[in-house]
Structure 1
Amino acid sequence: MKVSIWSDIRCPFCYIGKRKFEAALENFPHKEEIIVEWKSFELDPHLETQPNVDYTEFFMEVKNVDKDTALSMFDRVNAMAKDVGLNFNVEKAITANSLNAHRLIHFAKKYNAADIVKETLLKAHLEDAKNIDAIDVLVQIANEVGLDSDKVKNMLVSEDFTYEVRQDELEARNLGINGVPFFVLDGKYGISGAQPESIFTEALENAWKKHKQEKLTILNTGEGSACDVDGNCD
């Protein structure tokens, strides 16, 4: 059964939601039969990377809040992260466009490394305050998880996988997804936000039960001409 997850590396709740979903999946009795697919979703596709801009000031301007309010919001998110074992430094984040990071995740899918790349990118942005739009940072991340540095660099200086990112985002719009994280279980059941672990557990159980019930039913229509797997036809 497939679970598709739309999220953005810039989204703190996406990292928190990832941890809560993983906790539910770890205790799910059929976890070995669950395929997790990461889908791209840019919170602000037109964001200009500004590594020299103080993130608190950037946040205050975008959200139209004062400094005390901004820091209070950061503290709340950092506390939520600690509850799931993460050590956020949201106020120190680098203002960076996430397109190249999403492209790297799509590249990593070819090598079954999308999950570890997604994890490393989230950590880089939300805990380590790294520039997730910088080619040297992305190449370093790729190298850390065992991907070919030269191939990654060549990909990043091209337009490769931009189409795949846009297709994910088009699919999200078609499904009515306008916020992340968003989890789609078996193509039928949607969960919005970083829900409690218990919600994910219940959703997995219900989706799995329905998934198994909807397996192909072969109708009893009597004998009919057919060819078998060995090429024998009658």
Structure 2
Amino acid sequence: MLVEVWSDFVCPWCYIGKRRLETALGRFEHAGDVEIVWRSFQLDPSTPPGADGPVSESLRTKYGVSAEQVVQMNERVTTLAAAEGLDYHLDTARVANTFGAHRVAHLAREHGVGPELHERLMRAHLIESVHLGTPENVVRLAAEVGVPADEARRVLDGDDYADDVRAEIDLARQFGASGVPFFVMGRTHGVSGAQPVEVFDGALAEAYRRAVAATA
């Protein structure tokens, strides 16, 4: 059964949702029959290429809230992330346009390390405060999981996989997604947001039941 996950590397809720899905899969009796594909989505496509600066300042401007309110927002998400074993450092996270990183993620998928790069990029941004808009950083992180550095540089220097990234974003919208994380199980069940593990338990079980029934 195919499980497709639309997310962005700079999305704090996406990493939380990823961990909750993984928890559900860890206790799903048919987990061995599940294939996960991480699909592209940009949390804020209006972020200019080459943009940098504190995410906290960007949030304050975007939502028209005070610096204190941003701190409270970040503390809430950080607490929820900690419950999933994630040590967020949102106060030092950097704004980045992730389109290039998503293109390299498609290259990683061809090398059979798509999930590994997705995890590495999320950790880099949300925990290590690495700027994902810097090509050198993306190349280094991709190389860490087995993507040849020269190939990653070639992708970032050109426009390889740009159409693939846009196509996946369009597909998410066709499914009704307006944000991420967004999970589709077996093309029959959708889960929007970083829902409790029990929601993933139910969606996986029902999608698997339907997949089996469809082949009977």
Give the TM-score of the pair, scaled to structure 2: 0.97
Paired residue for 1:191?
191
Once the two structures are superposed, what CA deviation does each residue of 1:160-180 show, in whole Å capped at 9, x if it has no partner? Answer: 011000000111121211011
Mapping for residues 42-191 of structure 1, pairs under 5 Å = 42-48=42-48, 49-51=50-52, 53-191=53-191
SS of the aligned residue for 1:39 comes to strand
Question: What percentage of aligned pairs have identical amino acids?
Answer: 34
Shift of 1:41: 0.9
Once the two structures are superposed, what CA deviation does each residue of 1:159-204 show, in whole Å capped at 9, x if it has no partner? Answer: 0011000000111121211011010010111110101111111111
- Structure with greater proportional helix content: 2
Q: 5+ unaligned residues in a row in structure 2: which ranges? A: none
Could you tell me how far apart the structure 2 residues matched to 1:45 and 1:60 are? 18
Shift of 1:81: 0.4
Structure of higher CA gyration radius: 1
SS of the aligned residue for 2:131 comes to coil
Deviating beyond 3 angstroms after TM superposition, the runs of 4 or more aligned structure 1 residues are none
Q: Counterpart amino acid of 1:178?
A: S
Stretch of structure 1 that moved more, 170-179 or 76-85: 170-179
Mapping for residues 13-24 of structure 1, pairs under 5 Å = 13-24=13-24
Aligned length: 215
Could you tell me how far apart the structure 1 residues matched to 2:73 and 2:79 are? 10
Give the TM-score of the pair, scaled to structure 1: 0.89
Could you tell me how far apart the structure 1 residues matched to 2:70 and 2:199 are? 29
Paired residue for 1:3?
3
Q: 5+ unaligned residues in a row in structure 1: which ranges? A: 217-234
SS of the aligned residue for 1:176 comes to coil
Could you tell me how far apart the structure 2 residues matched to 1:176 and 1:125 are? 27
Q: Counterpart amino acid of 1:126?
A: L
Q: Counterpart amino acid of 2:51?
A: Q
Could you tell me how far apart the structure 2 residues matched to 1:29 and 1:213 are? 17
* RMSD, aligned α-carbons: 1.0
Shift of 1:128: 0.6
SS of the aligned residue for 1:214 comes to helix
Assess if the C-alpha contact under 8 Å between 2:51 and 2:133 holds in 1: no
Could you tell me how far apart the structure 2 residues matched to 1:198 and 1:55 are? 31
Paired residue for 2:32?
32
